[in-house]
Amino acid sequence: MTVAVVRFPGSLDHDSAARAVRTAGGDAAPAWHQDAELPAGTHAVIIPGGFSYGDHLRPGAIASRSPIMGAVRRHAEAGGLVLGICNGFQVLCESGLLPGALRTNASLSFVCRQVELDVADGDTPFTQALIGPLSIPVKNHDGAWYGDPSTARVVLRYRGENPLGAVDSVAGVANGAGNVMGLMPHPEEAVDPLLGSVDGLGLISALVAR
Amino acid sequence: MTRVVVTVMPREGVLDPQGQAVQGALGHLGFDGVDHVRVGKRIELTVHGPEPEAEARRMCEELLANPLIEDFTVTVEGG
């Protein structure tokens, strides 16, 4: 299965994401922000972390209006899987593919640490094989999800402390159909025992399995 | 050419940690008369075309502001 990894100017984690896809047994294909189409044979899409377009205006705002996002939108509307990680989550919220917005962390600090996540909704293609709690790192400055948790499909929550100040401790949400998901923690950085946890592999494997 | 000033502010009710931090710092400096601080941004556009205000509003709706968390105002300056 081929997973397209979208890259914008300022993306950082595309290589980690591609490596995680290969670790999960899939193929990773790069997609450039100016491309009008996803790579041929794309089954799923990752929008990786970083600081696309320098985080100017709002994180993810300018990236969400780039040409490749038209192709990502069509892929999502056709039922294809799309996973946004960190800045990728911000891009998906800014594009309207996911509900809510990501605000500056309540601490005003860049937060880089391992967090524990509870699976709040195990009925999406991403989460159906997950068993919480998951130990996955966060690393961001603008990761506090803001939205209405009574209408949004919340799939992951921080366990215990709410490290970024998200509404209702939301760490990840999906669209109504469940085929588009975003989360602030970095599952692609938790796929190797050398890094202390392989709890992110399940999410990445979900992209490859379908 | 027309100058248009767009002001984007965090919506009331949305946590504004930057405003809180500034308010705290002002208090530490002895400015004890400050009841509330919010921090936003000002965007200055130099535009041409027949309807600068309406055009700037469309820009705000499509890109410059996120209506979920931000409010905006548009002011056309003389000249």
Running DSSP on this structure, what letter comes out for residue A38? P
Are B63 and A147 an interchain contact pair (Cβ–Cβ within 8 Å)?
no
Mean pLDDT of A20-39: 98
- Asked if A74 has any chain B CB less than 8 Å from its own CB, the reply is no
Instruction: With 0.90 as the threshold, say if the pTM is over it.
Output: yes
Contacts of A173 in chain B (CB under 8 A): none
Are A146 and B68 an interchain contact pair (Cβ–Cβ within 8 Å)?
yes
pLDDT for the residue B78:
74
pLDDT for the residue B15:
84
Helix (H, G, I), strand (E, B) or coil at A108: coil
Residue position matching structure tokens 């530490």 = B28
Q: What domains are there in chain B, each with its CATH number? A: 2-76 (3.30.1280.10)
Residues 151-180 of A with CB under 8 A from B: 165
Angle between helix A201-209 and A14-23 (nearest 10): 70
User: Does residue A54 have a pLDDT over 90?
Assistant: yes
Nearest to A65 among B15, B63, B66 (CB): B63
Are B63 and A61 an interchain contact pair (Cβ–Cβ within 8 Å)?
yes
User: Does residue A210 have a pLDDT over 70?
Assistant: no
Are A103 and B15 an interchain contact pair (Cβ–Cβ within 8 Å)?
yes
How does the average pLDDT of chain A come out, rounded?
A: 97
Per-residue model confidence as pLDDT tens digits over A126-143: 999 999 899 999 999 999
Candidates B20, B39, B68: best to mutate against A (most CBs of A within 10 A) is B68
Mean pLDDT of A135-160: 97
Per-residue model confidence as pLDDT tens digits over A103-117: 999 999 999 999 999
Indicate whether this complex's ipTM tops 0.95: no
Nearest of A160, A155, A180 to residue A170 by alpha carbon: A155
Enumerate the H helices of chain A as residue ranges: 14-23, 67-77, 87-95, 201-209
Nearest of A94, A165, A142 to residue B15 by alpha carbon: A165
User: Does residue B30 have a pLDDT over 70?
Assistant: yes
Bridging pattern class, strands A81-85 and A42-47 = parallel
- Asked if B64 has any chain A CB less than 8 Å from its own CB, the reply is yes
pLDDT for the residue A209:
87
Are B15 and A58 an interchain contact pair (Cβ–Cβ within 8 Å)?
no
pLDDT for the residue B79:
54
pLDDT for the residue A113:
97
User: Does residue A44 have a pLDDT over 90?
Assistant: yes
Residues 7-26 of B with CB under 8 A from A: 14-15, 17-18, 21
Which residues of A participate in catalysis according to the annotation?
86, 186, 188
pLDDT for the residue B9:
97
